[in-house]
Every structure is written in C-alpha cells, then in structure tokens.
Amino acid sequence: MVAGAGDHAPLHDGFRHRPPALPVEAGRGPFRSVRWPFFTALVLSALHRAEEYFKDFFDALAGITGVPNADVASPPVILLVVLSVGAWLLIPFLTGRTRFGTYLAWTFFAAMGITELAHIVVFPLVTGRPFEYFPAMASVFLLAPAGWWGLVTMWRQGDTMKRWRPV
C-alpha cells in the first residue's frame, strides 16, 4: 500500500505517522499562523473580564433577566471557569495537531469576535437605552476585531489547520 493511500492524507512532508513539532516550539506548526491573533485576543479577553467585574456587568445582566447572580465561589462556577480558561490555554498546543484543538481555537475566536458583540448590540437595545454605555461595552471595541482577525486567519489557513490527522 502506498503511503497516504486510503482514508488518511499524508502530511505536507510525506510522513503520515510523525506528528509535527509542538506548535509553540520556535514558532513552528499550524499555531504559528494564529499566534498573534490568539495572544492578542487572550490579553484583551482578560481586560474585558476585568471591565465586566469592575463595571458590574453581572448585576446589569441580572437586572435584565431577573435571575440573581451565581456565587462566584460556588463549585459549579469555579468548574466552569477552570474548564473554559483551561481549554483556551490548551489552544497553542492542540491547534492544527488535532481537530479538537482547531475547534477550540475557532470557538475561542468566534466567542470573542461574535458573541461579545452582544455588549454593543443586544444589551443596550434590551435595556431600552441603545445609545448609553452598557457594562463591559468599551473593551469589546478592541476584543471583537481581535476575534475577527483570528477567524479570518484560520479561514485562510483552513487546509493547513486540518492537514495532520492522528492515526
């Protein structure tokens, strides 16, 4: 049987069984193409979370929904934060190496570039004050474009992101 024949496509260098180097090593691997958008969005996401905290975003959200805030020290909230942030921190190691890693990167950029726009578009309209500041709105003007940058970069690098398939 010829290498690469069958269900699995060969790597760009023709070696199907050798995984690429860790993507954070010396700037090589599929993560290289998204490293700047990723780290930019990660830092801006941390700033966005700080703005949410200091501007009482969750109290404003509770006012809209009528559902009280969860205790931030409760086990379910701690588990949710650990899982989401832990998944984000795995992105440099898994992107392009596994489909799950590429999925994590795509959903991270989509969350930052699309979902966070709710602070600008949805929440002000729901409150009936479309031209007023809504908590954590300011940082979204930087965070959303960083997410778009990552999405566009991944879209353009789509074939490279899917090339390696585990055996």
List the domain range (segments joined by +) for residue 153. 32-161
Residue 93 lies in a domain: yes
Identify the band that residue 167 occupies on the pLDDT scale cut at 50, 70 and 90: very low
Identify the band that residue 22 occupies on the pLDDT scale cut at 50, 70 and 90: very low
Q: What DSSP string describes the chain?
A: --TT-SSSPPPTTS-SSSPPPPTTGGG-SGGGGGHHHHHHHHHHHHHHHHHHHHTTHHHHHHHHH-PPPPPTTSHHHHHHHHHHHHHHHHHHHHBTTBHHHHHHHHHHHHHHHTGGGGGTTHHHHHHT-TTS--TT-TTHHHHHHHHHHHHHHHHHTHHHHH-----
Residue 27 lies in a domain: no
Residue 117 lies in a domain: yes
Residue 120 lies in a domain: yes
Residue 68 lies in a domain: yes
How many structural domains does the chain have? 1
The residue that leads in pLDDT, 96 or 32, is: 32
Residue 83 lies in a domain: yes
Q: What is the pLDDT of residues 91-142, one digit of tens each?
A: 998 987 788 888 999 999 999 999 999 999 999 999 998 889 999 999 999 9
